[in-house]
Structure 1
Amino acid sequence: MAGRDERAVVRALVEAHGRTYAEEAGIVLKDTPQPLYRLLVLAHLLSARIKGSIAVATARALHEAGLRDPRRMADADWQERVDALGRGGYRRYDERTATQLGEGAALLTERWGGDLRRLRAEADGDVAELRRLLQEFPGVGPAGADIFLREVQRVWPEAAPYLDAKALQGAERLKLPKDPDRLLSLAGRTEPAVLAAALVRAAIGKDVAEDSLNRAGSR
Structure 2
Amino acid sequence: MAKNGAGEEDAAVLDVLLDRYGRTYAAEAGIKLADQPKPLYQLLVLATLLSARISAEVAVAAAKELFAAGYGTPKGMREASWQDRVDALGRGHYRRYDERTATMLGDGAALAMDRWKGDLRRLRDEAGGDERRIADLLMEFPGIGPTGADIFLREVQAVWPQVAPHLDRRVLDGAAKLGLPRQAGPLAELAHSGAELARLSAALVRVSRSKKSADAVRSAAAGR
Is the pair's TM-score, using the shorter chain for normalization, greater than 0.5?
Answer: yes
Aligned to 1:181: 185
Tell me, yes or no, if structure 1 residue 49 matches structure 2 residue 40: no
**1:183 Cα deviation (Å)?**
1.5
1:85–1:91 CA contact under 8 A, matched in 2: yes
CA drift at 1:7: 2.6
Q: CA deviation at 1:160?
A: 0.9
Is 1:86 matched with 2:87? no
Q: Aligned match of 1:144 in 130, 143, 148?
A: 148
Partner of 1:156: 160
Give the ranges of 4+ consecutive aligned residues of structure 1 lying more than 6 Å apart after TM superposition: none
1:36 aligns with 2:40: yes
Match for residue 198 of structure 2 among 189, 193, 200: 193
Identity within the alignment, %: 58
Query: Residue in 1 aligned with 2:131?
Result: 127
Q: Which residue of 1 aligns with 2:76?
A: 72
One-letter amino acid of the structure 1 residue matched with residue 207 of structure 2: A
- Cα offset, 1:211, TM superposition: 2.1
Shift of 1:155: 0.9
Are residues 1:216 and 2:217 paired?
Answer: no
Residues of 1 paired with 2:78 and 2:11: CA distance?
46
Select between 190-199 and 97-106 the one with higher mean Cα deviation. Answer: 190-199
Is 1:112 the counterpart of 2:116? The answer is yes
Amino acid at match of 1:75: E
Post-superposition Cα deviations, 1:55-92, rounded to whole Å, max 9, x if no partner, equal: 11111000111111111111111111100000001001
User: Cα RMSD over matched residues?
Assistant: 1.5
The answer on whether the counterparts of 1:11 and 1:187 sit within 8 Å (CA) in structure 2 is no
Distance 2:204 2:21 in 1: 9
Rounded to whole Å, the distance in 1 between the matches of 2:77 and 2:192 is: 40
Question: Any gaps of 5 or more consecutive residues in structure 1?
Answer: none
TM-score by length of 1: 0.95
Determine if contact 1:17/1:208 at 8 Å carries over to the other structure: no
TM-score (norm: length of structure 2): 0.93
Q: 1:3-42 counterparts in 2 under 5 A?
A: 3-42=7-46
Q: Deviations over 1:127-146 (max 9, x none)?
A: 11001000000000000000
**CA apart distance, 1:187:** 4.1
Report the more deviating stretch, 175-184 or 141-150.
Answer: 175-184
SS of 2:189's partner is: helix
Partner amino acid, structure 2, of 1:5 = E
- Number of matched residues? 218
Q: Residues 216 and 46 (structure 1 numbering): CA distance in 2 closer, same or farther, change over 3 Å?
A: same
> Paired residue for 2:100, among 96, 100, 106?
96
- TM-aligned CA distance change 1:102 to 1:188, over 3 Å: closer
Q: Which residue of 1 aligns with 2:207?
A: 202
State how far apart, in whole Å, the 2-side matches of 1:12 and 1:183 are. 16
- C-alpha displacement at 1:188, in angstroms? 5.1
The aligned amino acid for 1:14 is L
